[in-house]
Each structure stands twice: as C-alpha cells, then as structure tokens.
Amino acid sequence: MHTVKLDIQDSIYEHVMFILKSLDEKGLSITEYKADQNSESDLYFSQRQKQLHQDIEDIESGKVELLSKKEYEQNTNEFFNTLKSKYAN
C-alpha cells in the first residue's frame, strides 16, 4: 500500500478526479482534503478531526462509557500485569 499526496490546481481538479474515480475501487481509496492551514502541515488532520467529533458525540449520547482516572489506571495496570505474567522471560 502506498499513500500519495497531490497538490492539484483548480483548473485540472475535475479531470484528475475523473481519472482516479475510473480506476478499480479495490486498488484505490480516495480521500479528499480541504486545503487549509491545518491540512498543509498534517495530511490526516481532517480524518482525526472527524473521528474526534464522533468520539465526543458517542460520549455525550451515552454510547461510550468514559472511565475515571482511577478506573483507567486500574484497568491499565491490570492489563500490563497480565501481559508481564504471560510474556515475561
């Protein structure tokens, strides 16, 4: 798998997208980004922003349970202790 970033002038954008969309969908995934200051320095900014908004919505709707700091630390410690006991030399 390869990732390619293209900077396309507005005058040829539609032509390039037509060519890309005509290719086999199994071999190509097209993710479009709006040209803004954030995406110039971080190619995946828009994807992470979208995921963050979804995470916040899930928390606020009760779809996902948020752990307290103490619960998080306990769960993390239990997890690492389990890993150590299973895979320690």
pLDDT on residue 15:
93
Q: Give the mean pLDDT of 68-83.
A: 96
pLDDT (tens digit per residue) in 19-41: 988 887 778 888 776 666 666 67
Can you give the residue ranges of every domain in the chain?
A: 10-87
Structure-block tokens of residue 44: 């995946």
pTM of this prediction? 0.42
Give the up-direction half-sphere exposure of residue 68: CA atoms within 13 A in the CB hemisphere.
3
